[in-house]
Amino acid sequence: MSAPTFFLLGASHHTAPLELREQLALAGEKSAALRGALRTLPGLREFAVLNTCNRVEIYGLAAEPGAVAGLQAAFCDLSRLDAAAFARIRLELHDQAAVQHLLEVAAGLDSQVVGETEILGQVKAAYAAAQAAGTTGPVLNRVFQKTFQAAKHVRTQTAIGEGQISVASIAVDLALKIFGDLRSCRVLVLGAGEIGEKTARAFRSREAGAMTVASRQFEHAAELARALGARPIALEGVPAALADFDVAVCSTASPEYIVVRAVVAAAMRRRAAQPFFFIDLALPRNVDPAVADLENVFLYNLDDLAEIARDNLAQRQSETARARSLLAAKAGALWGQVQERLNGSRPAPG
Amino acid sequence: MNFLGLGDRTWLWLAGAGYLVGFGLGTAALLRDRRDPPVGTYLTIVAGFLLQTIGLYLRGAAVKGCPIGNLFEIFQFTAWSAIALYLVVGATFRLSLFGYFTSCLSAVLTLVSLTVPGWDAAHRINAFGDTPWVALHATLALFSYGVFALLALTSGMYLLQTYSLKHKRLHGLFSFLPSILELDLISVRLLSVGVVVMTWSLAIGSFHWVQDLASVNPPKLITAGIWLAYLAALLLRLGRKLVSQRLAWTCLALFIAALVSLPLVNASRHPVTPPAAPAGTPI
């Protein structure tokens, strides 16, 4: 009798183009159908299915050599993909390599955006679903629980998750560097466009204080204000009220500057001790660049934010080697524990 | 005077080394692109403070008074005051990198004063005479300098953070600096505390001066000028006339002026400097 093997079978954005990933995705009832098919598969002792927009991966414990091939056949059958096509995009790993892969996935090292945190929640959800379905056992339980610890460890020990990479989150992080606490921060949203709304929502999610929306068309401002729990004002009223805000998120379609130096200088005379943060997300720009020369005024435009995102991403990527090496040590130790467990559960020869 | 077989200067050397270790720990963390270890830095500063307290106590016992009789003791006492205040302020406000910069400043003040032999000139025992008010005046004045030392640090951090945000340099050391508003808030509080303490000091000193106008010399007027300048800075800040980078530069410049004035004020008390006595030897 051969030893049970811990395995991973699946495909991800590294191996499969978007069209094939769409075909493989376990949307709706497909997930339950696969689980049902795998339950009765001979030699498959434990399994969990990780299904995200970038990957479908099945982790399991095979007690017989043919179990993984049987699983692949069931999966291809359900996805209506022929075995040869799947073989070209397939990722199959065994034992310590499979453990290491799971650790890297959970830590965000294998993600399209390196270091993103959403994947850890998705791995946790996959494990919870497998537990609820009763398809996990001592090996998967051990591997997944240790995986969560390892993912947290690598995040605290490396800069893999540091630095925001979306424009909205970067803008909020910059505001925190200026104001420290956003709860007393008054935010003005100029323009009712999508990027402005996203940034305003990012401020809301960090408990920013009073929010006001101004737009050339008042009904647009009122609509967005309702969605954000904000107050609408007319665009014409902005210059007079500018001193009452701390942050301005600008994203109007105006072909010329709508925030000019003289207006900001006048506002700053009324609030000299309080800094002002302008986030200019518009193209063409809404805020006169000369505004940045004023004392206590900070101005970031779309290019500035994009460059920060690039720097942060590069910094994350530069940390991947260190993170991978930390996880390799964890995977080695974890695989040693799993082997002990597997050897302990194996029937004595003879 | 010794404690555990070590003289006062040895304890002060150890204190300086403690502050240097705190600074080294922070630098090593920053070079690895990590935040300075707050607990590690705080503990090394506490250790340095305790060692410095022992050293200053021994020196105080030897000179039978507060050890602020020469330039060496003045710098040691100023560093000690800054650290004493940091231990309260740092724990309360938990400003990132504050411990790192404080350990750096204390290491500089402590170690520089130890390495200049001429600064530890011998002075008479009980340098402030029989009246405790003059000693209290001098002690409070130097404690206010400790407060202004911390203010200079927060002002420097404010300028660094402003530079970082204005010039979009957000990595490395800059990424760990506290927010602009936090730094402004703590700076205003330190400025207020420093001015109040120095005002007490000058008020106490003025009672003595009124009775002995001959003892009022130009260097002492420099101290009064520094107090006036800090008071003006505080009033202008409260009136929102001096804010942001201008306030930070002013606080930095005033602290440098205060430090530079210390040798002049000290020399005015000791017109003739006798040769240095062996460490910790009562005169």
> Tens of pLDDT along B225-261?
999 999 999 999 999 999 999 999 999 999 999 988 8
Chain B interface, best mutation among A177, A274, A278, A311, by max B CB count within 10 A: A177
Check if B161 contacts A (Cβ < 8 Å): yes
- Round to whole Å and give the CA distance between A109 and A317: 9
pLDDT greater than 80 at residue B35:
no
Query: Of A53, A76, A185, A250, which residue is the catalytic one?
Result: A53
Proportion of chain A above pLDDT 90, given as a percent: 72
> What is the reported pLDDT for A27?
75
**Length of chain A in residues, anyone?**
350
Residues of chain B with Cβ-Cβ distance to A178 below 8 Å are: 165, 179-181
Give A268→chain B minimum CA distance, Å.
Answer: 11
Does the distance separating the beta carbons of A177 and B179 come in below 8 Å? yes
Does the distance separating the beta carbons of B165 and A177 come in below 8 Å? yes
With vertex at residue B27, the alpha carbon angle to CA B26 and CA B30, rounded to the nearest 5 degrees, is 85
Interface predicted TM-score (ipTM): 0.81
Range with the largest mean pLDDT of A292-306, B32-46, B57-71: A292-306
Does the distance separating the beta carbons of A273 and B179 come in below 8 Å? no
Interface of B with A in 210-239 (CB under 8 A): 237
Residues of chain A with Cβ-Cβ distance to B170 below 8 Å are: 177, 308, 311
Interface of A with B in 21-60 (CB under 8 A): none
Number of other residues whose CB lies within 10 A of the CB of residue A14: 11
Check if B116 contacts A (Cβ < 8 Å): no
Name the residue in chain A with its Cα closest to that of B180: A178
Does the distance separating the beta carbons of B246 and A295 come in below 8 Å? yes
pLDDT greater than 80 at residue B272:
no
- Round to whole Å and give the CA distance between A232 and A189: 9
The residue whose two tokens read 């729990």 is A229
* Structure token digits, residue A226: 């309702």
pLDDT greater than 70 at residue A253:
yes
Check if A268 contacts B (Cβ < 8 Å): no
Q: Select the CATH number that applies to the domain covering A5-161+319-345 from these four: 3.30.460.30, 2.60.40.420, 3.10.450.50, 3.40.50.920.
A: 3.30.460.30
Check if A272 contacts B (Cβ < 8 Å): yes
Cβ-proximal residues to B213 (8 Å cutoff; 6+ apart), any chain = none
Does the distance separating the beta carbons of B182 and A180 come in below 8 Å? yes
Give B236→chain A minimum CA distance, Å.
Answer: 11
- Round to whole Å and give the CA distance between B12 and B19: 11
Tell me the mean pLDDT in the region B122-145: 77
Check if A300 contacts B (Cβ < 8 Å): yes
Residue A250 falls in the annotated catalytic set:
no
Helix/strand/coil for B232: helix
Chain A interface, best mutation among B30, B94, B162, B168, by max A CB count within 10 A: B168
Number of H helices, E strands in chain A: 14, 10
Tell me the mean pLDDT in the region B10-29: 90
Long-range contacts of B238-246 (CB under 8 A, 24+ apart): B240/A272, B240/A273, B241/A272, B243/A272, B243/A273, B243/A295, B243/A296, B243/B184, B244/A272, B244/A273, B244/A275, B244/A295, B244/A296, B244/B162, B244/B184, B245/A295, B245/A296, B245/B158, B245/B159, B245/B162, B246/A295
Query: Phi and psi (nearest 5°) for A287?
Result: -110, 130
pLDDT greater than 70 at residue A346:
no
DSSP string covering B143-165, please?
HHHHHHHHHHHHHHHHHHHHHHH
Reading phi first (left if > 0) and then psi (alpha if -120 to 50, else beta), residue A284 is in beta
Residues of chain A with Cβ-Cβ distance to B178 below 8 Å are: 180
B244 closest CB neighbour out of A292, A295, A315 = A295
Tell me the mean pLDDT in the region A115-138: 93
Determine the distance from the C-alpha atom of residue A345 to the mean position of all C-alpha atoms in its chain, rounded to a whole number.
38
Does the distance separating the beta carbons of A298 and B184 come in below 8 Å? no
Q: Are B40 and B120 in contact (CB under 8 A)?
A: no
Does the distance separating the beta carbons of A311 and B171 come in below 8 Å? yes
Calculate the alpha carbon distances from B244 to A278, B14, B235, B250 in Å. Answer: 17, 38, 14, 10
Check if A275 contacts B (Cβ < 8 Å): yes
pLDDT greater than 80 at residue A192:
yes
Chain A interface, best mutation among B157, B162, B170, B174, by max A CB count within 10 A: B170
Check if B243 contacts A (Cβ < 8 Å): yes
Does the distance separating the beta carbons of B177 and A178 come in below 8 Å? no
Check if A134 contacts B (Cβ < 8 Å): no
Check if A298 contacts B (Cβ < 8 Å): yes
Range with the largest mean pLDDT of A203-207, B188-192, B276-280: B188-192
- Round to whole Å and give the CA distance between B166 and B185: 20
Which amino acid, residue A346? R
pLDDT-derived band at A18 (thresholds 50, 70, 90) equals confident
pLDDT greater than 60 at residue B283:
no
Tell me the mean pLDDT in the region A21-47: 89
Name the residue in chain B with its Cα closest to that of A291: B166
Nearest Cα residue to A106 out of A155, A63, A140, A61: A155
Question: Among A77-91, B184-198, B199-213, which is the least confidently predicted range?
Answer: B199-213
pLDDT greater than 70 at residue B263:
yes
pLDDT greater than 80 at residue B61:
yes
Mean pLDDT of chain B: 85
Does the distance separating the beta carbons of B170 and A178 come in below 8 Å? no
> What is the reported pLDDT for B282?
37
Does the distance separating the beta carbons of A272 and B177 come in below 8 Å? no
Model pLDDT for residues A45-74, shown as the tens digit of each residue: 999 999 988 899 999 999 988 999 999 999
Check if A177 contacts B (Cβ < 8 Å): yes
Which amino acid, residue B56? L
> What is the reported pLDDT for B128?
64
Per-residue b or e along B3-22, where b marks 16 or more CB atoms closer than 10 Å to that residue's CB: eeebbbbbbbbbbbbbbbbb
> What is the reported pLDDT for B129?
64
> What is the reported pLDDT for B91?
73
Q: How many CB pairs under 8 A join A and B?
A: 54
Nearest Cα residue to A211 out of A180, A174, A248: A248
pLDDT greater than 50 at residue B279:
no
Helix/strand/coil for A212: strand
Chain A interface, best mutation among B191, B243, B249, by max A CB count within 10 A: B243
pTM of the model: 0.77
Per-residue b or e along A129-145, where b marks 16 or more CB atoms closer than 10 Å to that residue's CB: bbeebebbbebbeebbe
Does the distance separating the beta carbons of B182 and A177 come in below 8 Å? no
- Round to whole Å and give the CA distance between B115 and B108: 10
Name the residue in chain A with its Cα closest to that of B179: A177
Q: Which CATH architecture has domain A167-310?
A: 3-Layer(aba) Sandwich (3.40)
> What is the reported pLDDT for A348?
41
Model pLDDT for residues B164-179, shown as the tens digit of each residue: 999 999 888 888 899 9
